[in-house]
Amino acid sequence: MENIKTMTMEWTGKSLILIDQRYLPLEEKYIECKNFQDVAVSIKDMVVRGAPAIGATAAFGFVLGAKEFINILDKKLFLKNLEKTKEILSKTRPTAVNLFWALNRMEKVLKENINNKTINEVTKLLEDEALKIAYEDIEINKKIGKNGEALLNDGDTVLTHCNAGALATVDYGTALGVIRAAVENGKNIKVYADETRPYLQGARLTVWELMKSGIKTTLISDNMAGWVMKQGKINAVIVGADRIAKNGDVANKIGTYSVAVLAKRHGIPFYVAAPLSTIDIETKNGDEIPIEERNSNEVRYCHKTRLVPEEVNVYNPAFDVTPNDLVTAIITEKKVIRSPYEKNILELFK
């Protein structure tokens, strides 16, 4: 399988090159991950972010771990080292379930082949699997886009929150993939993008992506969303997800819950676009989803500029959970599902 190169990542066969999303859109910098430790740091420090992108990145990190230990002759030691690799990668971001999905898929290939193949052969199979995950993600996103664009009418204006575009995936995007697909189908779609405090993924990443794609985009601060809805400027809200529970509760970037409440108040459909790998049927509801709390300085500072006194107390959860009764529909690569979510989610996996 050919190596992959997209806006988000490049696999060279020896290293993983990631666009450093912390510097966008003002600078386009790249980080080369030469070992799994580099990958772990890049995920934890948000060089790369977005659930599907995190999953694919972790898969390549697992491959780098295998390549690092490829000269070990003892298969038990090789397995032990890769168990440690998986453990380190698993601890980088607790909320995005795609991380664990991808690592479990890699581990399955490892365990199914380690007894009857050489370490070199197993490592090649792991690399092939990581590439499959990456290429599949692109195709899945395009299917999500095709399924979701039917929900949008020509002339609609969509509100987005955070970034669920090419930068949050291997390529194309989930929520932004729906918008791209609608535009590719000849529909005139406009976008309002929440800036998404405190990390500004909407302002820095979504706006940058959409402008590159020639899609008319207006940036607003998060606290403007309700007023923009009241003015009748929004026809639909589309967001991504980091984990969807079995009952349809949705964990996504902090602020998503507020947008969903506002959409409900104003009678605006609230859509979630996500691959099946983001649905965690082992998690019964949103109360069971672990919510990552990040460094307080992400709130105290905007890039390198301090906004408040250092000693001020800060609460900085990276995600919130939107209850399923606020979700109009979930757009997956298989189909669009609506309430009752638990029944319809389980049918997706049959």
CB contact at 8 A, 158 and 236: yes
Token representation of residue 196:
């998404």
Helix 36-44 and helix 51-68, axial crossing angle in degrees, nearest 10:
160
Q: 187 exposed, middle or buried (CB, 10 Å; 0-12, 13-18, 19+)?
A: middle
Query: Does 242 qualify as catalytic in the annotation?
Result: yes
CA distance 287 to 283: 9
Cα–Cα nearest to 181, from 229, 213, 208: 213
Query: Across the chain, which distance is largest between two alpha carbons, in Å?
Result: 67
Which among 171, 242, 249, 280 is annotated as catalytic? 242
Residue owning tokens 């669920």: 164
Instruction: With H, G, I as helix, E, B as strand and everything else as coil, classify residue 236.
Output: strand
Catalytic residues: 242
